[in-house]
Structures are given as C-alpha cells and as structure tokens.
Amino acid sequence: MDSVVSSLSLAYLLHLQNIHTKNLKTSHIPLINIPRSDLSLRTEITHALNVTYPTSSTSEGILPALTFMDEIDLKSLIENNKNTTISITDHNRLSPSQEWLAPYITRIIDHHQNEHLYSNVLERIIEPVGSCTSLVVKLWQKNSFCTAELMNEPNLSTLFLTPILIDTVNFNITFDRTKPMDISSRNYLKSISGMTNESMNNLFEELQTAKFSLDRLSSRDLLRKDYKDVIVNGYKLGISSVTWYLQGSKGWLERDGSDQLWNDIESWTKENHLDVGALMTAYEFPLNEGGFQRFLWVWCGNNISKSQCEFILNEIEKNSTLKLTNGISGGWVKHGKFWIQKNITASRKQISPALVDILKSLPSKSKS
C-alpha cells in the first residue's frame, strides 16, 4: 500500500509544482510497479481506493485512471523521450529485473535502510519513518498551493492517510514504528480530511480486516502478493510477507497440507530462481491466543550447498534484533527452518538487511 500511495502522492505533488511554475512541458506519471491483474491481491489497497474514490452509477472510481507496469513500454518511452527521468518511492534498490533503469533515476524517497546506490540521483530523501508516504506528505506541507489543492479534494488526504495508519499500526507505540514525522503527517491530513479520531480508527480497522482476509488466495498468490527480491554477491534472495499464519486452526498448513505447501514453495523458488527464500508471516490473534505474532521461515534453493544453507540458517537464528526462538527444521519446513519471532516490531526493514549481510559474507557465487 505504501509504495502505491507514495507514488501517487509524489506524482501529483510534482504535477502541482509544474502548474505553479508554469512548466507545462513535463508530465509526471505515477506508475504502479505491478501488473494490473495483481492489484486484486493487495486487498488493503483496493479497499483504500474504493473507500476514498468509490465506484457508482456516475463514476468508475480511481482505478481506471491508474497506470500499471504491464500497461506501459518503459524502454520505448525512454528511447523516444531522451529527457525521461525516474523517481522511486518506498525502496532505494531496484529489483534485479529493473536494474537497467538505474541511469534514469534522479529522485529517491524511502524509509528503508539506505543502500547508497545510484550516484546520479539529484534528490535523495531516506529517513527511517513509519511510512514512506509521511515523507511525501512533508513535501506537500511545504507548499501552500498543495495544501489548497488538498482542501479542495479532501478524499485525497484520506487516501494519503491510509498507508500511514497501516504502517504505524494506527500509531500503536508497542510496535515502535511511529516517528514524529508520521504524527505530523497524520495531524496535517486529519485536519484537512475532516476525520475524527473515531472515523480514523474505524478506517484503520477496515483496512486491517481487508489486509488479513487472505485465506481465499492460492499459495502462489500469497507468496507474490507482497514480494521483493535482490541479488547479493551473486545470490538471489526473495522475501515474501504474508498477513496470515501457518500453524493452527484454519491456518495455511491446515488448508493446503504440508506436502502441497512445500511443493508450492519449491515451485515458487524455481520460478523466481531463488538461492535463498524467506517467508515472513504476521497475524493479529485474539488477545487470549497471544495477540499480534510474527513468524519467519527461511529456506535454501537447490544451488546452495548444505553447509552454506546451515551457515545462513545459523547466522539468522543468532540475530539479536529478531529474537528468533523455537526453530523447527525438517518435516514440512524442508531445506530450511521456521521460527517464532519474539521481536514483533522487526519487519522486512530489519530482516532483509540481516539476510543481505549474511549473503555478503559468503564466497561470491560467480567464483564458487
């Protein structure tokens, strides 16, 4: 959700700045970095878009106006428009399949660990806030004409608020995600949207319900719903984040069975040519069943030796930040290990760098 809304909010901000400076020769296209058909997997995003810009007999809502990665030929666009530049939000390292875009990146706005890539970037805003959209909203606050536009379109401020609510877990201090900029952005957007504390809490609950309603999705859809990969030292690492649970009544394992689940994991590993895969699961259980919990499953592909795999698993298990306990290996886990993650505040922003550092310590794959 954060990647979609931060892209939309930044593109609109740049568009308004062009109008203000009478620069009418430049267009800014918010490009959603997934195929359009994948949007249905992002249940919280579709809910946010439908709530803020609902369809009706006189309106198709906002969805038809969005541009998705499979609807534009970037290579032809760049070849025919030599001055094309790219801004990226909610990440500061391109996926392996998009590395060819690196020379065209001039702006990065992100809240993940700074990887200090792409020397041609002219504007780099990377701060460890709860939501990347908060960083964009700060830029909106600097321009009175942008605030005036939001006041004319209060639904837009509600849309901008949705990823901030989700990423800070409604500003719950237990999760240690909320930063002063998130609070400032919330207060700014709340005052414009006209939302009350009650209506904001209700919106958060609706988004959470949508986010955790995943049991209808296939294993492949669950794995690709919120997936990011990176190549490190020649090794390809892929991490899927799923807001569901594996073990327990009505969980993933009970639904599919251990053999089918591992077959799906193995197929996903081969489809994406992964050397190391990770599955992060998180779920809000009833308080009498433990409340919010996180789990981590890390496995190795066929191109990783047994000794390398054991090293990776041992190193991630020793990570003091994640606080992984009660690791399970063998059986349905296969070629990997599954842990309870006691530090529920640690998300992909902590897990990905930890795995990246481990892969950096291995001999380069190209030389092995």
138/125 Cα distance (integer angstroms): 11
CA nearest neighbour of 242 among 214, 275, 208, 270: 214
**pLDDT above 70 (res 367):** no
> Which pLDDT belongs to residue 366?
67
* CA distances in angstroms from 54 to 114, 151, 241, listed in the order given: 37, 19, 28
Q: What is the pLDDT of residues 248-281, one digit of tens each?
A: 888 999 999 999 999 999 999 999 999 999 999 9
Q: Which residues contact 76 (CB under 8 A, 6 or more apart)?
A: none
Cβ-contact 46, 39 below 8 angstroms: yes
Sign of CA dihedral 138, 89, 239, 319: negative
Instruction: Look at residue 368 in the predicted model and tell me its pLDDT.
Output: 44
Question: From the centroid of its chain, how far is CA 168?
Answer: 13
Alpha-carbon distance values, 101 to 86, 210, 215 (Å):
8, 33, 36
- Cα distance between residue 104 and residue 29, in whole Å: 15
Q: Are strands 227-232 and 292-300 parallel, antiparallel or unpaired?
A: unpaired
- For the stretch 157-174, pLDDT in tens is 999 999 999 999 999 988
pLDDT per position as a tens digit, 342-357: 999 999 999 999 999 9
Q: Dig out the tokens for 32 from the structure.
A: 């959603």
Mean pLDDT for the chain?
93
Say what the pTM is: 0.82
Q: Among candidates 197, 136, 128, 143, which has minimal Cα distance to 163?
A: 136
Mean pLDDT, rounded, for 25-51: 92
Domains of the chain, with CATH numbers? Answer: 2-211 (3.90.1640.10), 219-367 (3.10.310.20)
How much is the CA Rg of the chain, to the nearest whole Å?
A: 21
Q: What is the pLDDT of residues 92-106, one digit of tens each?
A: 999 999 999 999 999
pLDDT average, residue stretch 296-314: 95
Distance CA 24, CA 10 (A): 17
Residue 326, by phi and psi: left (phi above 0), alpha (psi -120 to 50) or beta?
Answer: left
CB atoms closer than 10 angstroms to residue 359 = 22
Of the two residues 237 and 365, the one the predictor is more confident about is 237
**How many Å apart are CA 92 and CA 116, to the nearest integer?**
8
pLDDT in tens, 3-13: 999 999 999 99
The reported pLDDT for the residue numbered 56 is 65
Q: Inform me whether the pLDDT recorded for 286 exceeds 90.
A: no
Residues in CB range of 138: below 8 A, 6 or more apart = 181, 184, 185
pLDDT per residue as tens digits for the range 112-131: 999 999 999 999 999 999 99
What are the CA-CA distances from residue 3 to residues 177, 265, 368 (Å)? Answer: 17, 25, 36
